[in-house]
Structure 1
Amino acid sequence: MKIEELGADGTEKAYEAMRQLRPHLTSAGFVRLVNEVQRPQGYRLVGSWDAASGRVVAAAGFRLQHMLAHGRVLVVDDLSTVPAARGQGHASRLLAWLEREARYHHCVQVHLDAGTHRYDAHRLYVRNGFSIKSFRLTRRL
């Protein structure tokens, strides 16, 4: 299992994994949004490769931020695995990679949001050392 950051020329490789989390996006739409909108705002992608198929089967999108409440943090915007590869350790290895990246950049915390209905994801995150510290409230405009 290989973990590797994906540059702009590799964005499409993360689509199949991200499609599980963001099904409203087409492949072309995903690549355009990531490369033209999100990357200029600091968004980065990292993928976990399946050795047998040579494809990215799990991916995480993240950015570094500085928050008044917490200081420097790494924020995970997106983390997803294709269904056939779940339970094989890809997400846990991505989380470990993200933690190393956060430490490298002198972050004091790693943050991520998970939908309230994503119970399997909650268990994964807690198993990997995350704590539920707050609720993020939203209001549709």
Structure 2
Amino acid sequence: MGKQATIRFLQDGAEQHAAFELMRELRPHLIDADAFAQQVRRQAQQGYRLLGAFYGEQLIGLAGVRHSENLLYGRFTYVDDLVVAPELRGLRVGAALLDAARAEGLRCGHAHLVLDTGLHMPLAQRFYYREGLLGKGMHFVQALPATEPQRHG
């Protein structure tokens, strides 16, 4: 494809719902489109927004972006999710989504763009290095016993 993707924030529940199958490429544990859309709406209350990359009307890439603040970075832009349709990888769609996330961070006066990636994803890590991101730490997780099952899109 010789054309450039259009990057914009998804606007409504219908667009978020339509993003479900593409997000499953990155998050295969997601099993229900309605639960996914509800979770995106809940996360939006905490500042999460989905950037979409489109060729015409076709959604070909997503980046979940939010603003945060901590003692390490101050105010920063965080990319929770970054995924491109498998058949379109290598066409700079992911780079365009990261550029849009950077622009959003600059617009908000942030000094850092931050994201985590799985240790099992060396191709993603290579992509991030190529895009100028540097590995600065490790992300540790521990499951906590829940008193009731957590609904997870």
Q: Give the TM-score range, shorter chain.
A: over 0.9
Match of 1:3 in 2: 7
Aligned-residue offset at 1:62: 1.2
Give how far 1:124 is off.
Answer: 0.8
Q: Give the alignment's TM-score, normalised by structure 2.
A: 0.86
* Superposed displacement of residue 94, structure 1: 0.2
Choose 1 or 2 for highest CA Rg. 2
Q: Give the counterpart letter for 1:3 in structure 2.
A: I
In structure 2, how many angstroms separate the alpha carbons of the residues matched to 1:7 and 1:41? 16
Structure that is richer in helix per residue: 1
Where do 1:18-97 residues align within 5 Å?
18-25=23-30, 26-35=32-41, 37-51=42-56, 54-97=57-100
* Equivalence for 1:136: 139
Q: What root-mean-square deviation, in Å, do the aligned CA atoms of Structure 1 and Structure 2 show?
A: 1.1
What are structure 1's unaligned runs of at least 5 residues?
A: none
- The alignment partner of 1:41 has SS state of coil
Deviations 1:6-64 (A, max 9, x none): 123321232222110111222212111101x111111111000124xx21111010110
Count of residue pairs the alignment pairs up: 138
CA–CA separation in structure 2 for the residues paired with 1:124 and 1:27: 28
Instruction: Tell me if structure 2 keeps the 8 A contact 1:73–1:108.
Output: yes
Structure 2: tracts of 5 or more residues without a match: 145-153
